[in-house]
């Protein structure tokens, strides 16, 4: 059974995780963002901010984790599965931070295709930072523009989710699939 792999993406602090949790409450199959997990694993090894100290290594770990999620999504027996961020997010962030990276990042994004991309726009009123989200709101705006352009570069036409309550945004997404 081929299921549809649906990405929920957007810059930092746009409400992705809240929507993923609401989708799960409604019985939807979801895979969670892995960057915090990669960061926490590095902290256990004594590297406080792997992304800042070794950005390429961090991005390689993210790409590997997101590729594992992509393959895991293919195994689910549901009609569709939601994924918090996709493979092109890794490239968008590296481009934003002007990090050089090997061509296999592009090939991985080109070969492993999602079916629908939902993108959450920057929203200052809900933006907060924490131990793993260290970007300012202004940086979040720039990252968002990189996400839009990167997904388009790989041939996607992201659907922008309007700035509504979590419930209404979740309904919007479900109505579009």
pLDDT reported for residue 138? 86
- Predicted TM-score (pTM) above 0.75: yes
Residues 4-176, CATH architecture: 3-Layer(aba) Sandwich (3.40)
Residue whose pair of structure tokens reads 């810059």 in the numeric block: 11
pLDDT reported for residue 153? 97
pLDDT reported for residue 109? 97
Domain range annotation of the chain: 4-176
Nearest CA to 13 out of 176, 141, 114 is that of 141
Environment class of 88 (CB within 10 Å of its CB; exposed 0-12, middle 13-18, buried 19+) = buried
pLDDT in tens, the chain (177 residues): 578 999 999 988 888 989 999 999 999 999 998 877 777 777 777 767 766 667 787 788 889 999 999 999 988 888 999 999 999 999 999 999 898 999 999 999 999 999 999 999 988 777 676 555 567 778 888 999 999 999 999 999 999 999 999 999 999 999 999
pLDDT reported for residue 10? 94
| Strand pairing category for 4-10 and 116-120 | parallel
pLDDT reported for residue 40? 73
pLDDT reported for residue 61? 86
Write out the H or E segment, with its range, that includes residue 80: strand 80-84
């Amino acid at each position: 059974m081929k299921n549809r792999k649906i990405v929920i993406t957007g810059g930092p602090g746009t409400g992705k995780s809240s929507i993923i949790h609401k989708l799960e409450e409604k019985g939807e199959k979801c895979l969670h963002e892995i960057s915090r997990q990669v960061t926490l694993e590095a902290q256990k090894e004594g590297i406080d901010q792997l992304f800042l100290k070794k950005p390429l290594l961090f991005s390689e770990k993210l790409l590997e984790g997101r590729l594992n999620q992509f393959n895991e999504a293919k195994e689910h027996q549901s009609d569709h599965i939601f994924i918090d961020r996709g493979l092109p997010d890794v490239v968008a962030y590296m481009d934003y931070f002007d990090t050089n990276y090997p061509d296999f990042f592009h090939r991985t994004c080109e070969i492993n295709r999602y079916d629908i991309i939902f993108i959450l726009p920057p929203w200052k009123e809900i933006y907060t930072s924490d131990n793993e989200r260290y970007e300012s709101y202004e940086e979040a705006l720039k990252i968002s523009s990189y996400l839009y352009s990167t997904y388009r570069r790989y041939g996607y036409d992201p659907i922008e989710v309007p700035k509504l309550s979590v419930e209404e945004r979740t309904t919007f997404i479900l109505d579009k699939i």
